[in-house]
Amino acid sequence: AARDLKLRIPEDLSIVGFDDSRWAQIMQPALSVVAQPVYELGFTACETLLSMLRRDRTPQPTSIRLATTLVKRESTAPPREGAS
């Protein structure tokens, strides 16, 4: 869509994706992303599942927050002077 509008990335438009896959790194321009802690996410999911199985009852809904990291690559730039 940006290409159809003749927008240049990151000069005219910054793009940030989610999850740091290999595709994000090899895209042109390389995609800036919000990366999740994949190992910690999987570990927490397994712990939660095992806890559910041990209790033999429906668990109460819980909220778990894991830290993310912004990985800056070539698809983002500061706003231009005078941009609104």
This model's pTM is above 0.85: no
37-48 pLDDT, tens digit per residue, is 999 999 999 988
Q: 81 with 51: CB under 8 angstroms?
A: no
User: Residue 18 pLDDT more than 90?
Assistant: yes
- Residue 36's alpha-carbon distances to 40, 50, 65, in angstroms, are 9, 22, 11
**Three-point CA angle 47, 50, 54, nearest 5°:** 135
Q: Where are the domains of the chain?
A: 16-71
User: Residue 83 pLDDT more than 90?
Assistant: no
Tokens read off for 64 = 């778990």
Cis peptide bond N-terminal to 10, omega within 30: yes
Q: Are strands 16-18 and 69-71 parallel, antiparallel or unpaired?
A: unpaired
